[in-house]
Structure formats: structure tokens, C-alpha cells
Structure 1
């Protein structure tokens, strides 16, 4: 990729949620547990009809690694948020990352880790999909992608920060949520956004494609395209 300016980029040791965004996808089909609908905008990971709360802790230590990062899930109940029962997920959680699976009617979550080092490449970034189940959010059946993953355009580079922004979107209202994920550091600051589709088998990188400011006739140089994404 083109390198048109130099920058001092500190090597990151963060493993998860380094300044990352967290987004959730509603269950895709009507009539599933919890009475979720295709147009729901909630976070009901265990399908009991009560919204749950997902919180990122990017500075948390995991397994003695300072700043590794984790997420916690607190579950809703008839009496509100149940602070006694929570799920804690990090990159040490069994099944993270893993293989994608078909949609099952439970809300899923996507987490960006823009400070993830890929091999010796600092701050290359990664995106992870976590699955909702009848017992709540879990690492089992999760999936993750980098720019080195099959079918993902590009290649990992220092400072790309892939996963700096993540959004699950359903622009055609078919109940299947695709993914927008940005690497604002791509091409030393030009920035780029990846588009992943979702079919009956769930979210997939197959057929994924990219856009940047130049795609729409805008000035691409140092644009940091994708540094902010809204719906």
C-alpha cells in the first residue's frame, strides 16, 4: 500500500477493545425466543425478552496482561438489570475466535479491536463476532477477521486500526445484518471501510468489498475515512 507520509506509531499490546466500538444485531426472525422481531434494535442476548447491557473495558488486565481488555454482559430481568449474574468475555475465553454459524434468533455482538497486533504488525486491528445463546452471550461459535483473513480485501499493515469503527446494518430490511468496519489508518491515514454481507448462514467475509472517500469523488488523501460511522 502507498506510504505518502511518515508517522511515529507506538506498538500496541492491547488484545481486545482498544478504543473499540461495540455494536449488536437484533435477532433476524420473528417468532423466536423473547418475542424479538426483525426490526428490533435491542440487545437481548439470552432471548428472554429483557434487554441486556454490554460494556467494554479496554484497559482491563486479563491473565496478567495489562490493558488486554474485556467485555461484560449484565442481563435484564423483570426487576431490571441483574447485577448478580454477568458474563465476562476476553480473548482468553474459550471459542474466541472461532467459526461462524447460522442465525439462531438470538442477538449477536460485534467488537472492534483496532489496537490488535497481528503477528509483528502493530495496531493492525481485528473484528470479532460473538454469538447470543439461550444462556447469554458466549465465545462459542464466534468468528474474527483481519485484513489477512480469506476474502477480506487488503493486507495487515502497521497502524491501519482495522475495527476502529464497527456497525451492523440492514439497509435492505431483510432481517439479516451485514457489517461495516473501518480502518481509519489505512494507507497512512487515508482510511477505508469494509462491507461484509450476511446471508442465511450468517455474517461472512465472502464477497466483501471496500469504499473510501475517493469512491464517491471526494479527496482521499489523509481523509481518515471511516473514523466515524453513523446510521
Structure 2
């Protein structure tokens, strides 16, 4: 991660790198997790600082049989920049998140932080293109003062939207959707 400055990339604040081996980042770095394959930035805990939502679509869950089930990590923003204090790891097995982690779900293949209902609180959208035998699915997680929460989470697939059935890989990727990058970081 590189910080910005008045003339582009900051020349005074050093770049930082985060992995699952970084102290305070949940999970374990394993070959092929694809940690950081999908990244979105936005204020998920309503403190005025941009947080980083990171997909790891090939992460293996707590059950070894759930290889490549996927996960999402949230690193919090603060007055001094990104911090690992209060980091969160979310999977389909997290409280309130619809479905369960299964082999090849690829939860976290796409992530986006955006306020789609214009209530002043961002929602976090998470794609899982392998869900339901590669038909794919997208999850919408709400946020509150504690950050991203599974409470009230919903999910939908193409068939829920009147789309085709089969191996559509829905949720493989989606655009940034206009994140508010003007937040203090």
C-alpha cells in the first residue's frame, strides 16, 4: 500500500505491505490463498477513516475439506493510517452470513465497499463465483460502528435476478462502483 500526497504518491510516508503473516492480520498465509486479489476501500465502521477490504478467494476455511472456500479480511483505517488493530476475518461461516463455506466457493473473488441505499453507511458486497456449483453468488453485508457485520446480510445469484442457470461464475468480478476515496486515511 502506498499513501498519497499533494503531488501524487507521498514522498514522506513510507509504503506498507500487509499479508496474513503481518501481526494482527487474521488468518495464516498459505501458498495460493490469493490474499489481495480483490481489494476495496471505504469507511466500514463510520469513524471517518477509510478501511481496506481484502478478498482471499482461495483461502481454505477452518475445515480442511473446504479448500478454496475463500475469506475476506478488513483492516481498519485510523488517524495514523491503516492498522491491524481490530481487524476482522469473514467467511460464509461467520455469524449471520448466508450459506456455509464449502470447497471451491471462492468467497472474496470480488469485493466492493459502497453505500448503495444512500443511508450514509457503506455496504460491503462480496462475490463468490464458485458458490452453488459455479453458478456464483453475491453477498451484501451491512456495516455499523463496529464495522462489517453478518447481521442482516443477504445474498443472491443470477437465478434470483431472473438470469440464466448453470455455471455462470456470477460474482467473479465487479467494478469499483464509485468508492469515496476522499475519506481521511
Aligned to 1:21: none
Aligned counterpart, 1:116: 59
| Alignment partners' CA distance in 2, 1:194 and 1:188 | 16
Partner-residue secondary structure (3-state), 2:76: strand
Residue in 2 that maps onto 1:87: 16
> How high is the TM-score relative to the length of structure 2?
0.77
Distance apart, 1:80 and its partner CA: 3.4
Q: Which runs of 5+ in 2 are unaligned?
A: 28-43, 178-185
User: 1:220 and 1:143, CA in 2 relative to 1: closer, same or farther beyond 3 A?
Assistant: same
Residue 104 of structure 1, aligned match among 19, 33, 47:
47
Root-mean-square deviation (Å): 1.9
Deviation at 1:191, TM superposition (A): 0.5
Higher radius of gyration, 1 or 2: 1
Q: What are the superposed Cα offsets for residues 2-61 of structure 1, whole Å, 9 maximum, x if unpaired? A: xxxxxxxxxxxxxxxxxxxxxxxxxxxxxxxxxxxxxxxxxxxxxxxxxxxxxxxxxxxx
Q: Any stretches of 5+ residues in structure 1 without a counterpart?
A: 1-72
CA distance in 2 between partners of 1:153 and 1:138 (Å): 28
1:212 aligns with 2:157: yes
Q: TM-score, normalised by structure 1?
A: 0.63
Q: What is the aligned partner in structure 2 of residue 74 from structure 1? A: 2
In the TM superposition, what is the alpha-carbon distance from 1:184 to its structure 2 partner?
0.3
* Cα deviation, residue 201, structure 1: 3.5
